[in-house]
A and B are shown apart, each in its own frame.
Chain A
């Protein structure tokens, strides 16, 4: 019973606090069609790479 209370009262709030305080990093959504991206009206960052 004590363990259950400890879990509900202390650990869960602590864990959720630590999760919420993590910085939210926006994931980049990469497109692959450069022509379509350039036809839009926003700036574009294009990464040219050569797979080895």
Chain B
């Protein structure tokens, strides 16, 4: 096995070529140089080793899921996992197709993946600079699934998307829009803090408000 460390700031070509969307990302390539699969984000050592071992056996990979999906086209879990794999590879159009399929097949979240799919879809919309769409998705999650484990997180991401939208507007020289979006971001961060005072992200939300007020 060969090991390669790629500094994303120096080797931007490889980073773009392999659609790296977050750090750290570990990509396992086969002998033929083709990607077997990847791990996006940090995993604890034991979990990391287990995932790599499974990948080497051809299990729990995107191609494994796609093969299994052919035999079980109604498995919501498989559909979500495939969407998640495509998202990890920055293949957002393909990921969106699978997340949309979940919304059609299990609108009531009977299998527990619909809220996750909406949340992931919000991120895809954000990456496509569709900030309003991202916020609408989080609102949909909040309205439809108040029991979801992602409920508080969805609340917290609404102001975050507003702040990113404000940055985007500022970059494009829209001063008036930037001001409105920043004030909305602050308002929704304050709502989040009020609604979830014991949430672990409260300090982070307070810092975001300070940053927005200073900028």
Contact = CB atoms under 8 A, between A and B. Distances in A.
A38 B29 contact: yes
Contacts of A32: 4-7, 11
A28 B3 CA distance: 7
Interface in B1-25: 1-9, 11, 14-15, 18, 20, 23-25
A23 interface: no
A30 B5 contact: yes
B31 interface: yes
A44 interface: yes
Contacts of A29: 3
Contacts of A51: 7, 9
B2 A42 contact: yes
A29 to B, nearest CB: 7
Contact of B14 (A31, A34, A42): A34
A19 interface: no
Interface residues of A, number: 23
Given A31-B2, A32-B5, A41 B31 contact: yes
Contacts of B33: 38-39, 44
Contacts of B31: 41-43
A8 interface: no
Interface string B101-127: 000000000000000000000000000
B30 interface: yes
Contacts of A46: 3-6, 18, 26-29
B154 interface: no
A17 interface: no
A48 B56 contact: no
A30 B1 contact: no
B11 A34 contact: yes
A44 B28 CA distance: 6
A15 interface: no
